[in-house]
Structure 1
Amino acid sequence: MKTNFDFLMPSVNFFGPGVVAKVGDRAKMLGMKKPLIVTDSFLETLPDGAVEQAVASLKEAGVDFSIFNGVEPNPKVRNIEAAKTQYLAENCDSIITVGGGSAHDTGKGLGIILTNGDDITVLAGIETLANALPPLIAINTTAGTGSELTRHAVITNEETHLKFVVVSWRNIPLVSFNDPMLMLDVPQGLTAATGMDAFVQAIEPYVSTNRNAITDGQCLQAIKLIEESLREAVANGHNLEARTKMVEAEMLAGMAFNNADLGYVHAMAHQLGGQYDAPHGVCCALLLPIVEKFNIIAAPERFAELAVAMGENIDGLSTRDAAEVAIKAMRQMSIDVGIPRSIKDIGAKPEDFELMAENALKDGNAFSNPRKATKAEIVQLFQEAYDQV
Structure 2
Amino acid sequence: MSIMRFSVPRDIVYGEGALAELAKLQGKKAVIVTGGSSMKKFGFLDQCQDYLSQAGISSIIIDGVEPNPSVKTVWRGAEAMINFEPDWIVAIGGGSALDAAKVMWCFYEHPHLKFEDIIEVGSMPALRQKAKFIAIPSTSGTASEITAFSVITDTENHIKYPIVAADMVPDIAILDPKLPETMPAHITANTGMDVLTHAAEALASTAATSFTDPYSIEAIRLVIDNIETAYKEPTHKEARYNMHNASALAGMAFTNASLGLVHSLAHKIGGEFGVTHGLANAILLPYIIDFNKQYTNKYQLVENVLGINDLAETVRELNRALNIPTCFKDCDEVDFNEEKFTEVLARMSKRAHGDPCTLTNPGQPTVEDVTNLYRKSYYGE
TM-score range, shorter chain: over 0.9
> Cα deviations across residues 311-337 of structure 1 (Å, max 9, x unaligned)?
42x4xxxxxxxxxx2211121111111
In structure 2, what is the Cα distance between the partners aligned to 1:140 and 1:6? 24
Residue of structure 1 aligned with 2:367, choices 351, 362, 375: 375
Counterpart residue number, 1:294: 291
Counterpart residue number, 2:227: 230
Corresponding position: 1:358 with 2:356: no
Counterpart residue number, 2:322: 337
> What residue identity is the alignment partner of 1:307?
E
In structure 1, what is the Cα distance between the partners aligned to 2:305 and 2:271? 32
Question: How far is 1:41 from its partner?
Answer: 3.1
Counterpart residue number, 2:311: 326
Counterpart residue number, 2:182: 185
Contact 2:202 2:208 in 1 (8 A): yes
Corresponding position: 1:196 with 2:193: yes
> Cα deviations across residues 203-254 of structure 1 (Å, max 9, x unaligned)?
0011110000021111111111111100100011100000001011111100
Counterpart residue number, 2:6: 7
Counterpart residue number, 2:80: 86
SS at match of 1:224: helix
SS at match of 2:174: strand
Contact 2:31 2:88 in 1 (8 A): yes
RMSD of Structure 2 on Structure 1 (CA)? 1.6
Residue of structure 2 aligned with 1:131, choices 123, 126, 144: 126
Corresponding position: 1:149 with 2:149: no
In structure 1, what is the Cα distance between the partners aligned to 2:157 and 2:306? 38
In structure 2, what is the Cα distance between the partners aligned to 1:40 and 1:93? 21
In structure 1, what is the Cα distance between the partners aligned to 2:39 and 2:265? 32
Contact 2:32 2:89 in 1 (8 A): yes
Counterpart residue number, 1:43: 38
In structure 1, what is the Cα distance between the partners aligned to 2:95 and 2:342? 28
> Cα deviations across residues 188-210 of structure 1 (Å, max 9, x unaligned)?
01100100000000100111100
Question: How far is 1:174 from its partner?
Answer: 0.6
Contact 1:40 1:71 in 2 (8 A): yes
In structure 1, what is the Cα distance between the partners aligned to 2:120 and 2:85? 30
In structure 1, what is the Cα distance between the partners aligned to 2:209 and 2:42? 43
Gaps of 5+ in 1: 315-324
In structure 2, what is the Cα distance between the partners aligned to 1:85 and 1:223? 40
* Identity within the alignment, %: 30
SS at match of 1:184: helix
Aligned length, in residue pairs: 371
Contact 2:316 2:326 in 1 (8 A): no
> What residue identity is the alignment partner of 2:55?
A
Corresponding position: 1:119 with 2:107: no
In structure 2, what is the Cα distance between the partners aligned to 1:342 and 1:234? 21
Q: TM-score, normalised by structure 2?
A: 0.94
Change (3 A) 1:329 1:41: closer
> What residue identity is the alignment partner of 2:251?
G
SS at match of 1:98: strand
> What residue identity is the alignment partner of 1:183?
P
